[in-house]
Structure 1
Amino acid sequence: VRVFGHDAAGRRSEVRRLLGYVPQQLSADAGLTGRENVALFARVFDVPRAERSARVAQALAAVDLTEAADRSAGTYSGGMVRRLELAQALVSAPRLLVLDEPTIGLDPIARASVWERVDAVRRATGMTVLVTTHYMDEADRHCDRIALMDRGRIRALGTPEELKARVREQDAALPDPTLDDVFRHFSGRGLARGESAEGDFNDVRRTRRTANRVG
């Protein structure tokens, strides 16, 4: 039983190293420096002790935070915090990176900065990125394959161009649809029907709480 338990723990450790996760809620500690935050996640993800220092430095460099690494995270801008959280997720050199609303509450320049780093790391490592976002322009620009979800169900699946082509074929009034048009088409929802796609009061409260923490 002890041997089995040891093997199981080893397998869990290996799995943790394959996964990176950036949650919607704030995960960086404002009381620690950027370097200390990433080092903490290196321990959480079971990065071997002998490799931690180099891995932390590599992750910080990948998101362009080397110069700010020894400053308190509490002094970082919203965009820098999001890039720091990306470094935390990258420190284990994951094969799969999961991003939950990675640019929520950020201004356009900060959003672009976060995606620039994500795209650069993906190109350099071949890592798979799974992202959830309400920003259709981000999905169109950065995602190879999209699943449109509405009310807990997948309504459409395909590349951005495939989804737009399906709408063009089915709706002559939309010769050049955007992904916003695609979502409305497949969800069957639209403001003209008096149905709001904006969520309820609790959705708005949760989003603003997250945006305030990140900003």
Structure 2
Amino acid sequence: MSSIISVANLSKTYGSGFKALKNVNLDIKRGEIFALLGPNGAGKTTLISIICGIANPSEGRVLVGGEDIQTSYRKARSLIGLVPQELHTDAFESVWATVSFSRGLFGKPKNPAHIEKVLKDLSLWDKKDSKIITLSGGMKRRVMIAKALSHEPQILFLDEPTAGVDVELRKGMWEVVRTLQQSGVTIILTTHYIEEAEEMADRIGVINKGEIVLVEDKATLMQKLGKKRLTLHLQNKISALPESLGHYELDLCDSGATLVYDYDTKGERTGITSLLSDLRTAGIRFNDLDTTQSSLEDIFVDLVRTS
């Protein structure tokens, strides 16, 4: 799959000397949903701002659809729709007028049919004549997406699109995002809701302290870095583990009522079989067992902690 965004050796240093980005290299594939994760101050918004032409890089190059974001600014920017964290528009303007105005800013001819489709897709059609100031927070976020889609971009940046939005509306917005992807739009998502990335993304990128920590297919990332946990609920409490079980690195929990064994996902079934056999030999019996796998949030926290 070809890249629609290519970032090469990108750095950003502010006048204060603070380095917000440090030699970032990143390729985003055409038609994918890419989740960019990172703690506050990691460089997410700076990276997006440079790609969208809002901020200038100190070093490096960004190509959007093959167009250089600096030397071919208008062509590159016309391919991008940006949904920022805050709505910046006339609060007393109508939904229809503000979305139509956004289309005009890109030099696009009037297209009432397209604006109507966008508003209907985002469940805003019945609000088309409403003033922005009268809308709920969730509806205002939908207006932001409508504005970003007004000029028919190939790429959509969603910067914390569901922050402060209730669960029902968040799921509705996920459905909109999936529909956009099916129509061929490439979507780059930044979020603090890890379950959002886990639910939506094809690939995950993690940025911390201005540097890309990793970029990986979501499924591959979960398999490579995820952990599984085996929990054994014992028939009788034990005060300490026998020496014969020492090499398993078991944790004795719940005042001796539970044994916990963490292992990676690369295939340690033999180790579990041996563990269960050695437990029987040691006279330790259990009533029940269950396994869980680490979430993307667990993986993210570990990556940020060690980077």
> 2:194 pairs with 136, 140, 143, which one?
136
- Alpha carbons of 1:122 and 1:34: their partners in 2 closer, same or farther (altered >3 Å)? same
As a proportion of its length, which structure holds more strand? 2
Q: Which moved more, 1:114-123 or 1:87-96?
A: 114-123
Alignment partners' CA distance in 1, 2:221 and 2:133:
42
> 1:55 pairs with 114, 118, 134, which one?
114
1:167 CA displacement: 1.7
> Equivalent residues in 2 for 1:1-215 (5 A)?
12-48=73-109, 51-123=110-182, 125-168=183-226, 172=263, 176-188=293-305
Tell me if the contact between 1:79 and 1:113 (Cα under 8 Å) persists in the aligned partners. Answer: no
Count of residues in Structure 1 that have an aligned counterpart in Structure 2: 176
Tell me if the contact between 2:227 and 2:293 (Cα under 8 Å) persists in the aligned partners. Answer: no
Residue type of the partner of 1:172? Y
Alignment partners' CA distance in 2, 1:15 and 1:47:
15
Alignment partners' CA distance in 2, 1:137 and 1:55:
32
- Alpha carbons of 1:66 and 1:127: their partners in 2 closer, same or farther (altered >3 Å)? same
Q: Which runs of 5+ in 1 are unaligned?
A: 1-10, 190-215
Structure 2 residue matching 1:172: 3-state secondary structure: strand
Provide the residue aligned with 2:39 in structure 1: none
Tell me if the contact between 1:17 and 1:47 (Cα under 8 Å) persists in the aligned partners. Answer: no
Length-normalised TM-score, structure 2: 0.53
- Alpha carbons of 1:113 and 1:152: their partners in 2 closer, same or farther (altered >3 Å)? same
1:117 CA displacement: 1.5
As a proportion of its length, which structure holds more helix? 1
Identity of counterpart residues, as a percentage?
A: 32
1:131 CA displacement: 1.1
Greater Rg by CA: 2
- Alpha carbons of 1:75 and 1:40: their partners in 2 closer, same or farther (altered >3 Å)? same
Residue type of the partner of 1:147? G
Structure 2 residue matching 1:31: 3-state secondary structure: coil
Structure 1 runs (4+) greater than 3 angstroms displaced:
11-16, 168-171
- Alpha carbons of 1:12 and 1:186: their partners in 2 closer, same or farther (altered >3 Å)? closer
Structure 1 residue matching 2:158: 3-state secondary structure: strand
Q: Which moved more, 1:52-61 or 1:142-151?
A: 52-61
